[in-house]
Structure 1
């Protein structure tokens, strides 16, 4: 019985370590998936994203230029700015400043037809 418990704990701890090691599609230092990415999140500019429908997934490339409050930041590309919501767990220990270029995958969030557009970030990486 003790052997079964020991093996089960060993398997469980190994699977947590393997799952924790995945850092996205292009992090070659740790390893991970290198094939095609999800085409549902299309690359667009901030200006284009502001005119898209609520709950549409987009990929943006630009800079996080300002911290507004809590998990709200100002994101800017060469077309416009938009507020992005970045949960603490998405930073993955990475330090990002206003001069760093990042890629953000997120969901457009509109509370109503005349409300401001925000992007709820699902994943991001420093480029």
Structure 2
């Protein structure tokens, strides 16, 4: 019984000591990396994306130039154009027109009908 009481007191005193006033890394609010990046090295062109394996992740920068139907759009960069699938929840209330530059992170989809390559968009932002 003495061991249980001692263990309980040890746990309780340790938790109070750790919770009170700790300001280390785990308690700091972080919103993401803010340092420099070489985003140009991470970008993929549409032409390159069309030759990549199924389920490869790509980052594309260009314009959404046409709405095909439902969640399918035509995306175009300086090298080519491709169909992208953008679910409604990825717009985040943003209005994007054919003259706006966007960055798309997505997955190459070679399982689309008629063997065409498409991009399933996972995230996008207006640049």
Question: TM over 0.5, yes or no?
Answer: yes
Could you tell me how far 1:35 is from its partner in structure 2?
Answer: 4.3
Structure having the higher helix fraction is: 2
| Counterpart mapping for 1:6-21 below 5 A | none
Matched residue pairs, number?
Answer: 93
User: TM-score, structure 1 length as denominator?
Assistant: 0.68
TM normalised by structure 2 equals 0.68
**3-state secondary structure, aligned to 1:52:** coil
Counterpart CA distance in 2 for 1:88 and 1:61 is: 20
Matched, 1:80 2:65: no
Give the match for residue 102 of structure 1: 102
Superposition CA RMSD, Å: 2.1
Query: Unpaired runs of 5+ in structure 1?
Result: 1-30
Which residue does 2:67 correspond to in 1? Answer: 67
Tell me how far apart the structure 2 counterparts of residues 108 and 46 of structure 1 sit (CA, whole Å).
10
Displacement, 1:76?
0.1
